[in-house]
Structure 1
Amino acid sequence: MILRAERVTLGYGRRPVVHEVTLDITEGGVGLIGESGSGKTTLARAFLGLLTPMSGNIWYGDQTLKKADLRKFRKDVQPVFQAEALDPRMRIGTSIAEALPRGSRPGAKQRVAELLEQVGLDPGLAARRPHQLSGGQRQRVVIARALAVDPRLLILDEPTSALDVTVQARILDLLASLDAERLLITHNLAVVERLCRTSHVLFAGRVVESGPTRDLLANPAHPYTRALRDAVPRLGGPPPEATGRAEAVPAGTGCPFRLRCPLAVPECERAPEPRDVESRQVACHRAEDVLAGASGGPVT
């Protein structure tokens, strides 16, 4: 375990947007899946130490992040943002060199060339500025910059969302080949299936399903996970169905998904606790019915 969230609640001002989340970042890649506004990026900001929990703790090894050696933490845990994060005024080589440890500055030019080659780019691109590179090249530069300190963990926030399909494939091949572990924040199920052994599905700031990625996507046990999977268009297949009303239930008033859930029953007015169901943990009263392929309506 590199990082762990323990009953973490996060918010902006006094308004919580992530509610008592507990999850570990372990080997094999971990995915955070959910629609926009589900709390994925907010949780990633807490893992990076950029947002202080309202309650609960972020653990880095056997220490809370508050007490950890931040210099070592910044070396071990690196963010990979989208390509737009590059300073447009700075040359690519300078941008990467800026991230190098101070002791390696004398050999910075050679190290920058090595990092560019590691991510499949011509070292000659070091002299260019971001606007002179394609979207895929810029994303590789962002990855190279993160690799400059040999991190143990990369926190990737939608690293392929602005790229076309062929460039996405090359970036995924690159990420899969790296030694560093991955926390991947995405709504792209194909990407998380490729890069993450385990996944956590967030809805309205709560983890509703956790487990092996292949099991979650092949046979979801939560109606929301199933709705995400079924919303992916299939070539030659019918268009995806709408998932219903968009709003979530306010905190503390039952299952947050029940207004959109086709399987909601009166019991859903009581908030479900996460429980073990087959190979995963699910916060749903009707998880067994979802696994069995229930198509909607209350059970009699």
Structure 2
Amino acid sequence: MSKTTLESDQRAVLEVENLQKYFTSGGRIDRIFGEQKTIQAVEDVSFHLGKNETLALIGESGCGKSTVAKTLIGIHEPTEGEIRFKGELMTPEKVRTSPIQLIFQDASESLNQKKTVGSILATPLKLNGNNNTNERINELLTKVGLDPSVKNRHPGTFSGGQKQRIAIARALASDPELLIADEPVSGLDVSVQAKIINLLDKLTSEMGVSLLVISHNLGVVRTISDRVHIMYMGEIVEKGDTEDVFERPAHPYTRALLSSIHVPDPSIQMERVELPGELPDPSDPPEGCRFSTRCPQYIGSVCDEVNPELTESSSNSEWPIQGNDHCSACHKHDE
């Protein structure tokens, strides 16, 4: 699927340039004894998102994708880099008041259990100057597939899927131009996952809202996204149109991720790519390619010493489809 094709960055709703986010581990005692460590959660990440487009950030837990989301909405301040919304540079103050809303991973934790659904939805409506809150609450609940009568109930009386619908309704209450969904179906039953994903796809299409999906669920990503960016240890290692990346993965990490997808047809034998070792310490990442310690295509000193840049293939006519911005950060991607 492709709702839209971004012809130039001038049409971008969101532009992220060279984003970095570092954290410092340890407390006061560690600082006194010089034992604090700098954790490189996000390192030089750049991407753009067009109007009514869905982009997915994919990767293992700890790869930095959720940190990107939280930095975009002002929970974290960037260490370096720029965030632009519709061409305007976003300062911390502007980020917090921008038309960007985050749908949190755990709806149960993000919803105030002591308030009714109606009061939860009324808060952002009133902040936006909407005085006709009751009518708008009914509209929002209907839009996400819930009966308006549930507004008098508390979140604890709903199932996980229903709570996520309430969380989506709350995000829509601010009339956002960009939604960020951080693992929106994590922990839900498979049948419920499909309904929530279809709901997000329907809402973004109907409302013209851009969507950034943060996920490790490759099935979800393939269903809903126009483009995907693969992250490993804070960096983007492959990017491109969703179908291009899924059909012609170029980076060995992407191939390993895709090999883990469950195929329901028993006649199709998928070769699982097992990655050796563990993720490196983010406070002491490899000097060269960050994937070099686990890479099945490791070729020696160049991998240890040089971190490859995202580059289009120049020799392989099968990959990428030229003009689709399909790039990989690997020393062997031309092969």
TM-score (norm 2): 0.81
CA distance in 2, matches of 1:238, 1:6: 37
| 1:268 counterpart = 2:303 | yes
Instruction: Report how far residue 68 of structure 1 moved.
Output: 7.0
SS at 1:143 equivalent: helix
RMSD: 1.9
Deviations 1:213-261 (A, max 9, x none): 1111111000000100001222335684532212238446111111111
Question: Against the structure 1 CA distance between its residues 103 and 36, is the aligned structure 2 distance closer, same or farther, given a 3 Å change threshold?
Answer: closer
Equivalence for 2:32: none
What's the secondary structure of 1:244's corresponding residue? coil
| Equivalent pairs, count | 287
Give the distance between the partners of 1:152 and 1:175, measured in 2 at CA: 14
Q: Does 1:20 align with 2:54?
A: no
**Shift of residue 102, structure 1, vs aligned partner:** 3.9
Higher mean C-alpha displacement, 45-54 vs 206-215: 45-54
1:63: how far off?
2.2
| Conserved? CA contact 2:126–2:133, under 8 Å | no
Which runs of structure 1 show a deviation greater than 6 angstroms over 4 or more consecutive aligned residues?
none
Gaps of 5+ in 2: 1-11, 25-37, 314-319
CA distances 1:250-277 after superposition (whole Å, capped 9, x unpaired): 4461111111111110121221111112
The code of the aligned residue for 2:280 comes to A
Greater mean alpha carbon deviation, residues 12-21 or residues 121-130: 12-21
Native 8 Å contact 1:33 1:201 kept in 2: yes
Report the equivalent of 1:217. 246
Instruction: Give, as a single letter, the amino acid of the residue that structure 1 aligns with 2:50.
Output: T
Counterpart residue identity of residue 12, structure 1: F
> Shift in Å at residue 87 of structure 1?
0.9
Give the Cα separation in 2 of the matches to 1:184 and 1:139.
Answer: 15
Superposed, 1:83-98 pairs within 5 Å as 83-84=107-108, 85-98=110-123
Q: Quote the Cα distance in structure 2 between the aligned partners of 1:205 and 1:276.
A: 20
Determine whether 1:111 maps to 2:136: yes
- Preserved CA contact (<8 Å) 1:232 1:240: no
DSSP 3-state at the match of 1:288: coil
Q: Is the 8 A contact 2:13 2:87 kept in 1?
A: no
Q: Counterpart in 2 of 1:136?
A: 161
TM-score, normalised by the number of residues in structure 1: 0.90
SS of residue in 2 equivalent to 1:90: coil
Partner of 2:20: 9
* 2:188 match: 163
Gaps of 5+ in 1: 290-300
* 2:274 aligns with one of 213, 217, 242: 242
Aligned identity (percent) is 36
Alignment-derived partner of residue 293 in structure 2:
259
- Show the counterpart of 1:196: 225
